[in-house]
């Protein structure tokens, strides 16, 4: 039997699209995967999906991530965090408790960036490390001044080293991979415009700075892997439409709602295509919904 994996990209508030996709999956109890991998907001989205909590991710994004206790420019200007990741995790778990009996039925991995090597590490989420791993995978460099340390290492946002861990899913044996992106299919990441500034801002962590400088190359290589997978693998993509207007720090709830509904529709279309309701099958539906 072919191993199936689900990979969910991050993207901060752009994760509202994936929350809609996964809610559409939950509505039809669609969980055909042997394991899942998430990055940053993608990992947070997967918690709601795996724990059978529809609308959890939507509420976390639209109610908590828009709260000034999480995102606060004044606090950042005074030397604090622009985004308080730890508060968001703790508040989310308190207001929207996870069903841990359901959560761990499908193995979930989260990508983090090791600040010593600048490379990606992948942790399987377990009761003993859940909050630590979630904090690390969402610890945006510069914006979150705390450096999460556990299991003998210190980490920052997984999107620095591996924004779309589709190659890791393949390395772990998946040959039928579904990827939920937070950018339209035609997106290509551009290199950092001011490398000197990145090195200065991350002078305490030179390997992380180096990873940030090659992030665009790594991201675009992941897209190329998706478009041209190995012969023994099938990769399907669910991506926002071109008119998706949510940005990384969008706080407008009307725009977020629109992005969520786009995700719901895309999730429904994906299931319909997998069930052959649109006349599509494995032969004529590669790199598509």
Between CA 272 and CA 289 the distance in angstroms is 9
Cβ-contact 272, 278 below 8 angstroms = yes
CB-count burial class (<10 Å; 0-12, 13-18, 19+) for 199: middle
- Check 40, 44, 57, 182 and give the catalytic one: 40
Q: How far is CA 239 from CA 100, 186, 251, 289, in A?
A: 29, 10, 21, 8
Query: 64 is written with which tokens?
Result: 């908590």
Q: How far is CA 52 from CA 9, 18, 37, 94, in A?
A: 20, 15, 17, 17
**Those residues with Cβ within 8 angstroms of residue 12's Cβ, 6 or more apart along the chain or in another chain:** 40, 41, 140, 248, 249
**Alpha helices (H) along the chain:** 16-27, 41-50, 56-59, 73-77, 85-95, 100-103, 130-137, 166-171, 195-201, 206-213, 215-227, 253-274
- Check 23, 84, 121, 157 and give the catalytic one: 157
Cβ-contact 285, 178 below 8 angstroms = no
The answer to whether residue 157 is catalytic is yes
Q: Which residue has the tokens 């600048």?
A: 118
The answer to whether residue 40 is catalytic is yes
Between CA 90 and CA 269 the distance in angstroms is 34
| Residues designated as active site | 40, 157
């Amino acid at each position: 039997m072919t191993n199936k994996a689900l990979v969910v990209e991050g993207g901060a508030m752009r994760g509202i699209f994936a929350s809609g996709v996964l809610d559409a999956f939950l509505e039809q109890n669609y969980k055909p995967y042997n394991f899942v991998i998430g990055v940053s907001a993608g990992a947070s989205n997967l918690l709601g999906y795996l724990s059978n909590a529809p609308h959890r991710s939507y509420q976390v994004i639209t109610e908590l991530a828009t709260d000034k206790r999480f995102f606060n420019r004044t606090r950042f200007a005074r030397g604090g965090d622009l985004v308080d990741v730890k508060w968001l995790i703790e508040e989310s778990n308190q207001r929207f408790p996870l069903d841990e009996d359901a959560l761990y039925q499908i193995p979930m991995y989260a990508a983090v960036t090791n600040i010593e090597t600048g490379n990606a590490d992948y942790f399987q989420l377990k009761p003993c490390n859940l909050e630590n791993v979630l904090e690390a995978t969402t610890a945006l460099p510069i914006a979150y001044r705390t450096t999460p340390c556990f299991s003998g290492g210190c980490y920052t946002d997984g999107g620095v080293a591996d924004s779309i861990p589709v190659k890791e899913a393949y390395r772990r044996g998946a040959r039928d991979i579904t990827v939920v992106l937070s950018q339209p299919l035609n997106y290509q990441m551009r290199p950092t415009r001011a490398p000197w500034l990145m090195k200065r801002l991350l002078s305490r962590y030179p390997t992380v700075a180096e990873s940030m400088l090659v992030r665009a190359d790594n991201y675009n290589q992941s897209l190329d892997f998706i478009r041209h997978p190995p012969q023994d693998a099938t990769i399907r993509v669910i991506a926002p439409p071109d008119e998706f207007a949510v940005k990384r720090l969008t706080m407008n709830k009307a725009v977020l709602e629109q992005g969520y509904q786009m995700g719901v529709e895309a999730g429904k279309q994906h299931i319909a295509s997998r069930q052959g309701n649109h006349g599509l099958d494995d032969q004529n539906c590669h790199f598509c919904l």
